[in-house]
Amino acid sequence: MADKLAIQADSLKKIYGKDNTEIVAMKDATMDVAYGEIVALLGPSGSGKSTFLTAVGLINPPTSGQIKIGGQLVLNGSQPMVNLKYFRKKYLGFVFQKSNLIPFLSARENVQIALEINGYSPQDSSKRALEIMNELAIGDRADNFPSMLSGGQQQRVSICRALSNEPDVILADEPTAALDSHLGRQVMELFRDISHKRGTAVIVVTHDQRSLDVFDTVYEMEDGVIKLRQEIS
């Protein structure tokens, strides 16, 4: 199984501040996610979910613990073992609570820019962006600016962008928080399809208890510790 693991987060700990101002945001957080697996991470506000996600996303390194991606050690405590920016660009995709699209780029260009940053030519990236958008049924809004799209459409574009460089891992931080339950469900199902069809490991931080059936595994985080709540498959 270990050779099929996309993410191995081992005993992650994150401490902010020092001495009197010290806050332990995450302690002993461990999680393994396999390729093609979609997991949910539940937990109350302040439990350390986002800290965990940013640590695994190589944005906010942990104080201690290890993170392996695709079996390669990338962070040993706060010490980077690889070029994090390159690794993030190559292997990770992000989806946020708000769609976080660049407002001055059209939907297609928001996807295209991620591809160009990954070295695609402008022509290839434009073509590829449209392909992904058609795949996720948002191609008809390709030329619209984010402000002209609904919340659900924006989130779809955001997912297209996350998928554009065919990452091994997608990290989604409350992606349905700004959507109604129907759209929220659609987005969660989209993640599941992506995960299962493409073999992408997906971690979704969510509060939404109604869509838990779409996940393979559900974890719960409390006081900086991750506990397995439910393994569906």
Instruction: Please report how close the Cβ of residue 143 comes to other proteins at its closest, in angstroms.
Output: 12
Residue the block writes with tokens 């944005």: 59
Contacts (CB under 8 A) with other proteins, residues 57-76: 59-60
Minimum gap (Å) between residue 86 Cβ and other proteins: 7
Return d(Cα 170, Cα 197) in angstroms, integer.
14
Phi first, then psi, for residue 76 (nearest 5°) are -115, 95
Work out which of 8, 47, 66, 112 binds other proteins, going by CB under 8 A.
Answer: 112
List the one residue from 32, 37, 109, 208 that touches other proteins (CB under 8 A): 109
Q: What share of the chain is helix, strand, coil (3-state, %, to 5)?
A: 40, 30, 30
Q: CA angle at residue 156 from 46 to 183, to 5 degrees?
A: 70
Contact stretch for other proteins (CB under 8 A) within 70-78, 110-118, 179-187, 216-224 = 110-118
- CB nearer to other proteins: give 90 or 198: 90
Furthest C-alpha separation in the chain: 55
Least distance in angstroms from the C-beta of 148 to other proteins: 12
Q: Which of 76, 59, 60 is nearest to 8 (CA)?
A: 76
Position among 89, 185, 196, 198 found at the interface with other proteins (CB under 8 A): 89
Q: Which one of residues 94, 191, 215, 219 is an interface residue with other proteins (CB under 8 A)?
A: 94
Residue 145 as a binder of other proteins (CB under 8 A): the answer is: yes
User: Total number of residues binding other proteins (CB under 8 A)?
Assistant: 28
The first and second tokens of residue 142, run together, are: 């390709």
- Pick the piece of the chain touching other proteins (CB under 8 A) from 73-81, 94-102, 184-192, 199-207: 94-102
Q: Which stretch binds other proteins (CB under 8 A): 26-34, 117-125, 183-191, 206-214?
A: 117-125
Quote the CA–CA distance of 64 and 28 in Å, as a whole number.
9
Give the pairing type, strands 64-69 and 72-76.
Answer: antiparallel
CA distance 54 to 127: 31
Nearer to other proteins, 96 or 219 (CB): 96
Backbone angles phi, psi at 62, to 5 degrees: -75, 165
Site map for other proteins, 148-187, x if CB under 8 A? -------------x-----------x--------------
Distance separating alpha carbons of residues 169 and 186, to the nearest angstrom: 20
Q: Site residues (CB under 8 A) for other proteins?
A: 50, 54, 59-60, 85-86, 88-90, 94, 96, 100, 102-105, 109, 112-114, 116-118, 122, 125, 145, 161, 173
